Amino acid sequence: MATYTETPKLSHRFELALVYATQLHANQIRKGSGIPYISHLLSVAALVLEDGGDEEEAIAALLHDAIEDQGGAITRAEIRQRFGERVISIVDGCTEEQIQPKPPWKERKLNYLAKIRQASSEVRRVSLADKLHNLRSIVTDWEREGERVWLRFKSGKEGTLWFYRHFLEVYQEQDSHVYTQELARLISRLEVA
């Protein structure tokens, strides 16, 4: 758990990243919900900061889906130019695929799991925050809609839970983080549903 000795401050760079992320994802919504996509990015950044992540990790959290969802190599180059090497390194580490068309779903997920297993602590922090927020959203939507929620996912309930179980295993190999523990509880909640 993070401990703080002084109030962390975010600079103007964070504001610029927030504006940039909002512009990139302006027309994107969360799967099947109608909720503006920026809500996810804000939530991931908040989880990163609450875990003791620094400003550059929080910026990467705001931009973690930008390459694969909003422009590929061109967007990658813009992020690098605007926010630097460390931010783009974290974003790269969180990006499932940069190629189009994307490989098949299971292949992408297996590649991502292998990548995260070897990732830096900062990439792992952002990735864990991303997956935790996604799973929180799935549970909330499942509580509202029931089994219909699984229709949003190409892999359905079985494939989605397969991925999250394996993702959890990767994190449990190296640590027992409070977010990892929450992820385990959320997975269990959906498995008994």
Interatomic CA distance for residues 55 and 182, integer angstroms: 24
119 Cβ neighbours under 8 A, 6+ residues apart:
93, 127
Q: Catalytic one among 54, 69, 96, 145? A: 69
Interatomic CA distance for residues 59 and 2, integer angstroms: 18
Q: Is 68 a catalytic residue?
A: yes
Sign of the Cα torsion 70, 74, 80, 86 reads positive
Q: Catalytic one among 68, 92, 122, 141? A: 68
What is the CB neighbour count within 10 angstroms for residue 167? 22
User: How distant is the alpha carbon of residue 87 from its chain centre?
Assistant: 14
Q: Is 141 a catalytic residue?
A: no
Transcribe 44-82 into DSSP letters: HHHHHHHTT--HHHHHHHHHTTHHHHTTHHHHHHHHHHH
Please, what's the largest Cα pairwise distance for the chain? 47
Catalytically annotated residues? 68-69
